[in-house]
Amino acid sequence: MNILITSAGRRSYLINYFKEALNGNGEVHASNSLWSDALQCADKAVITPLINHRQYIQFLIDYCLKNKIKAIIPLFDFDLWKLSVNKEKFDKHNIKLVVSDSKVINICNDKWNTYKFLKSIKINTPESSLSILESQKKIKRGLINYPLIIKPRWGTGSLSTYQVNNYHELIILFNKIKQEIASNHIKYESSQDIEKSIIIQEKINGSEYGVDIFNDLNSNYLTSVSKKKLSMRAGETDSAIIIKNKSISIIAKTLSNKLKHVANLDVDIIYNNNKYYVIDLNCRFGGQYPFSHLAGVNFPKAIINMLNQKKVNSKFLLYNTGTIGIKQINPIILKNEVS
Amino acid sequence: MNILITSAGRRSYLINYFKEALNGNGEVHASNSLWSDALQCADKAVITPLINHRQYIQFLIDYCLKNKIKAIIPLFDFDLWKLSVNKEKFDKHNIKLVVSDSKVINICNDKWNTYKFLKSIKINTPESSLSILESQKKIKRGLINYPLIIKPRWGTGSLSTYQVNNYHELIILFNKIKQEIASNHIKYESSQDIEKSIIIQEKINGSEYGVDIFNDLNSNYLTSVSKKKLSMRAGETDSAIIIKNKSISIIAKTLSNKLKHVANLDVDIIYNNNKYYVIDLNCRFGGQYPFSHLAGVNFPKAIINMLNQKKVNSKFLLYNTGTIGIKQINPIILKNEVS
């Protein structure tokens, strides 16, 4: 079976994990709108149009048919959304999308929906507002106070994320983020509601945690792997230690059950004053997965099992606590892109 | 000969380059105030006190004597400064510092000194000010205009660096950086002149370039390797292509000759409207060196030649243009630190 990893970006390690998972029984293809080391790692690679290009979906379908690709695994939020709303087109050609339902993607990609969803299922999350006026009302009512965090509602990573310590900073940085959104790829998703494209959140101080929550392709819970983050770089987890934590496990099972996502869900958490606050839901393999993988789980192998209609081998869900992982910087020569 | 790389941080690749350079004829030791993958890569590693700790220098001297270390190569700006002002103490014990004179470090680490130095040798650099008042005068005189870049005078990487588009943003973000400096390690160097610890610079738009300028241990020019930056991550060059560029070569030779640094100088450049502006001088191996190394030069081997009182093998200074390098993310298990 051949598979395609779209928006592969810089995640060469995931390409390698899937190559190991297929173990020669099929090819790992990787696609991206720019050439990268992840594409270089793949068995075969292709440069696609931009995700918002009107030809993107048809391009992928044509590529899959030509290369006998049976499943697509996207790695980028906007790509998840684009694929999920076009699921029927892929179904027609028997190309399986390892992607959640578009309703689920809309909860994860839109931080305002994330906030409302988490509140509705009674999971702690930072108090949030979509306007300066609303945030000021919450301050007056004593619900929140400075410092606040402001960031793009449809943002990823640490992109345009600022801490503001007072009203003046809030006004200035709110306008600054507006300009930054307009000059960034997130303008496409932000255009859904440009007047409400910035979210203002209570700042939760505390240690940062993460959890990979793994469902099967029918959205049933399989396992979760919790970790304490030890360092961050460019908004991504740079090193982490694998832990067992009852509170996080309960959150993981609740999220799995209520969100009903497909395959991996990457969740960011902050612990403060005996409470775990869920900060972010990413409905895909995220920057914390390699730490779970190094500790023993193998979600790529489990996904290949499921795509082959086999029962997931339980050893792919086992892991050791205490494992510390770090993302080493490994400079390599980037060869010319495929012609 | 054993050597010690201090403030090794996350630069495991440099540890490996030096291990290859010694080729078993001596050990590469690495030190840092926190355990990291670079320390794990070294033949031997040690956790040091913080650089500003009163025991730091004596700790290093004791460690070098105990481990028969003949030379120290620091990788972090504040460490360069601390070592350079204590050079005599190392000299006494015949421990060679591969570090420039403290006057040179003061030009590179202090962005205001960098600005004055570059102006004095007639190399283009962004017009700079140390106060809001001064920057406003320059705007009135038509010398500069918004957007401006503001950042800590003694900063590194992209730390607390903001673009400001108008006077209000300037006021607010100037105060914000002040607070950020106070809560960061750069407060130590900033304390030299805390009232003037923020620099306001003209923003130069354009393509980003970099050049490694390599002098011998007596500060004579050996070679330079120019590159065009293709992408950045967390303020560091993430991918780059090696080029030959006459204008940058002339700048490199001028800098080598006027600055009289020792070993490598990592220089950031922006090209705009037929002019090359030097943005930053880092008096050490920086984030762009691996791209030079992948293209063929081998400064670590050249340094080992020189430390062994040998002539530098000219092949260590040769390289190929057109080589594209990228920093691959390679997740690994971090073992427990040395006891």
pLDDT tens track for B270-306: 999 999 999 999 999 999 999 999 999 999 999 999 9
Query: Does A159 have pLDDT greater than 70?
Result: yes
Residue A250: predicted pLDDT? 98
Cα separation, B192 vs A60, whole angstroms: 58
What is the rounded average pLDDT of the residues B103-122? Answer: 98
Please give, rounded to a whole number of angstroms, the shortest distance from the CA of B295 to a CA of chain A: 8
- Residues in A closer than 8 angstroms to B160, CB to CB, are none
Distance between CA atoms of residues B276 and A62, nearest Å: 45
pLDDT number for residue A282 = 97
A172, A285, A298, best to mutate vs chain B, most B CBs in 10 Å: A172
Instruction: Give me the percent of chain B exceeding a pLDDT of 90.
Output: 90
Best residue in B326, B327, B336, B337 for a mutation probing chain A (most A CBs within 10 Å): B326
* A36–B332 C-beta distance less than 8 A: no
Residues composing chain B: 339
Answer whether A179 sits within 8 Å of B165, measured CB to CB: yes
CA pair distance A93, B200, nearest whole angstrom: 57
Domains of chain A: 2-99 (3.40.50.20), 127-202 (3.30.1490.20), 207-326 (3.30.470.20)
pLDDT for the residue numbered B191: 84
Amino acid letter, residue B313: N
Write down the pLDDT at residue B338.
53
Inter-chain CB proximity B291 and A331 less than 8 Å: yes
**Is residue B193 predicted with pLDDT exceeding 90?**
no
- Whether residues B294 and A330 touch (CB distance < 8 A) is answered with no
CA B245 – CA B335 distance, rounded (Å): 44
Measured from the Cβ of residue A182, the count of other Cβ atoms closer than 10 Å reads: 13
Question: Would you call B234 and A234 a contact, using CB atoms and an 8 Å cutoff?
Answer: yes
Average pLDDT, chain A: 95
CA distances from B180 to A270, A297, B188, B197, B198 (A): 21, 39, 13, 11, 11
pLDDT of residue B233: 87
Which string of DSSP letters, residue by residue, matches B55-105?
Answer: THHHHHHHHHHHTTEEEEEE-SHHHHHHHHTTHHHHHHTTPEE----HHHH
pLDDT on residue B302: 98
Closest CA in chain B for residue A39: B328
Cα dihedral A151, A157, A158, A159 sign: negative
CA B294 to chain centre: 19
Going from the C-alpha of B80 to that of each of B76, B97, B100, B102, B284, the distances in angstroms are: 6, 9, 8, 8, 8
Residue A141 makes CB contacts below 8 A (sequence gap 6+) with none
Phi-psi region of A260 (alpha: psi -120 to 50; beta: other; left: phi over 0): left
Residue of B nearest to A173 (CA): B169
For residue range B200-231, list pLDDT tens digits in order: 999 999 999 999 999 999 999 999 999 999 99
The amino acid that residue B177 corresponds to is I
Q: Which of A28-42, B84-98, B182-196, B245-259 shows the lowest per-residue confidence on average (mean pLDDT)?
A: B182-196
Contact between chains at A324 and B333 (C-beta distance less than 8 A)? yes
pLDDT over 90 at A203, yes or no: yes
The answer to whether residue B169 neighbours chain A at the CB level (below 8 Å) is yes
- What is the interface pTM, i.e. ipTM, of the complex? 0.94
- Say yes or no to pLDDT of A337 above 80: no
**Packing angle between helix B102-109 and helix B77-84, nearest 10 degrees?**
150
pLDDT reported for residue B235: 83
Q: Which pLDDT tens digit goes with each residue over A130-156?
A: 999 999 999 999 999 999 999 999 988
Looking at chain B, the whole-number percentage of residues with pLDDT higher than 70 is 99
User: Looking at CA atoms only, how far is residue A94 from chain B in angstroms?
Assistant: 33
Task: Inform me whether the C-beta atom of residue A36 falls under 8 Å from chain B C-beta atoms.
Answer: yes
Beta-carbon separation of B331 and A324 below 8 A: no
First-residue to last-residue Cα distance in chain B: 24
Among A330, A335, A336, A337, which would you mutate to test the B interface (most chain B Cβ atoms within 10 Å of its Cβ)? A330
With CB atoms and an 8 Å threshold, state whether A333 touches B327. no
Chain A hits for B326, Cβ within 8 Å:
36-37, 331-334
The pLDDT of residue A215 is above 70: yes
User: How confident is the model at residue A339, as a pLDDT?
Assistant: 42
- Placement of tokens 């004579």 in the chain: B220
Output the pLDDT for position B339: 42
Band (pLDDT 50/70/90 cuts) for residue A338 is: low
Strand B198-202 with A275-282, pairing: unpaired
Q: Specify the pLDDT at position B184.
A: 81
Amino acid identity at A171: I
Q: How far is CA A2 from CA A64, A68, A86, A98, in A?
A: 9, 6, 21, 13
Phi/psi of residue B199, each to 5°?
A: -115, 135
| pLDDT at residue B187 in the model | 83
Omega prior to A147 cis, within 30 of 0: yes
Confidence (pLDDT) at A183: 84
Instruction: Report CA-CA distances (Å) from B173 to A16, B64, B82, B147.
Output: 43, 44, 30, 13
Q: What is the mean pLDDT of residues B22-45?
A: 97
Asked if pLDDT for residue B326 goes beyond 90, the answer is yes
In angstroms, the CA B50 to CA B37 distance is: 18
Chain B positions touching A167 (Cβ under 8 A) are none
* pLDDT score recorded for residue A187: 83
Q: Would strands A44-47 and B96-97 be described as parallel, antiparallel, or unpaired?
A: unpaired
How confident is the model at residue B230, as a pLDDT? 96
Check pLDDT > 80 for residue B110.
Answer: yes
Partner residue opposite A328 with nearest CB, options B290, B323, B332 = B332
B19 touches chain A (CB under 8 A): no
Is the pLDDT assigned to residue B337 strictly greater than 70? no
B109 touches B80 (CB < 8 A): yes
What residues does A5 pair with on adjacent strands? A30, A73
**pLDDT value for A323:** 97
pLDDT in tens, B245-267: 999 999 999 999 999 999 999 99
- Six-digit token string for A213: 């929550």
Which of B176, B233, B333 is nearest residue A323 as measured by Cβ atoms? B333
pLDDT in tens, B79-105: 999 999 999 999 999 999 999 999 999
Of B290, B265, B278, residue with least CA distance to B214: B265
Q: Please state, in angstroms and rounded to a whole number, the distance separating the CA atoms of residues B203 and B170.
A: 13
Q: Which residues contact A44 (CB under 8 A, 6 or more apart)?
A: A27, A29, A30, A67, A338
Amino acid at A320: N
